[in-house]
Amino acid sequence: MPRLPGYWMWLLREIIISSLEVAKLILKPSLPISPTVVVLEAQTKTDVGQVILGNSITLSPGTVTLDLYEGKLLIHCLTSKSALELQKGEANRRAAALEHK
C-alpha cells in the first residue's frame, strides 16, 4: 500500500481543519449549526475500503458514520458545509485510490 502514507497525511490535515471548525462553533455559540444526515455512495469496492472510508469520516470532528450497508454510508454532519464537502467526494476518491496498486 504505497499510497497509505499520503492518505494518512491528508487525513491528519482534514482532522485538524475539522477540529478547528468545531472548536470555533463551540467557542462562539452564536454561529449556526445545521445538523444534516447524508447518504454517500462509496466509490470503494471492497469491504475494507468502505470501512476505511467510514472510519476516516468518523475520525473527523463534526461527522459520524452512522451506518454502512451495501456500499452506502449514512453520515451525520454537524453543519451543511461539512455535508457539502463530503458530497464533493474527496474523501471517497482518496479511500478508493488506496485499493489500486
On whether the CB atoms of residues 78 and 63 are closer than 8 A, the answer is yes
pLDDT tens figures, 13-24: 999 999 999 999
On whether the CB atoms of residues 76 and 66 are closer than 8 A, the answer is yes
Contacts 24+ apart (CB under 8 A), 8-15: 10/94, 11/56, 11/59, 11/60, 14/56, 14/60, 14/91, 15/59, 15/60, 15/61
On whether the CB atoms of residues 6 and 14 are closer than 8 A, the answer is no
Q: How far is CA 48 from the centre of its chain?
A: 16
How big is the chain, counted in residues? Answer: 101
pLDDT tens figures, 5-57: 899 999 999 999 999 999 999 999 999 899 999 999 999 999 999 999 999 99
